[in-house]
Amino acid sequence: MGGQQQHKKSKVVKIDSVKSWEEYINEATNKGYFVMVHFSAYWCMPSIAMDPFFEELASTYQNIIFLKVDVDEVKEVATKMEINAMPTFLLMSGGTPVDKTVGANPDELRKRMDQLIPQNPSDA
């Protein structure tokens, strides 16, 4: 009863299987959306420290699908995307990686996104 709304307003989707990964990547590809993926691990403090910033990015960039993958839970995806360190942030378009940022560096991540993603502010 009502427990569904505990993580209200989160635009970050936690991927828990190869199937859900493929579904979101296919949906994004079909709609022409970029996908930003945060590859993390529950034991990696820098990954955990980046969670609030990643949520903030998800609220800022409305037309991007934000996914979070725990490399220990969905090893197949991490291996396929050649993830070797956490945190790693992978920007994808059309199912293909277009940019990879390794490490907990919010300024660098925002700078890269601003360079690669066309911003269309709706409030002018």
CATH number where 62 lies: 3.40.30.10
What is the predicted pLDDT for the residue at 4? Answer: 41
- Could you list the residue range(s) of the whole structural domain that residue 88 is in? 10-113
pLDDT tens across 29-38, in order? 999 999 999 9
Asked, for residue 2, whether it belongs to a domain, the answer is: no
Strands (E), 78-123: 88-93, 96-102
What is the token pair recorded at 63?
Answer: 């037309």
Question: What is the C-alpha R_g of the chain?
Answer: 14
Strand 88-93 with 34-40, pairing: antiparallel
Show the beta-strand stretches assigned E in 1-124. 12-15, 34-40, 64-70, 88-93, 96-102
- Residue 9 confidence class, pLDDT cut points 50, 70, 90: low
Q: What is the pLDDT of residues 30-70, one digit of tens each?
A: 999 999 999 999 999 999 999 999 999 999 988 899 999 99
pTM of the model: 0.87
Residue 70 CB: number of other CB atoms within 10 A? 21
Residue 1 lies in a domain: no
If one counts the domains in the chain, the total is 1
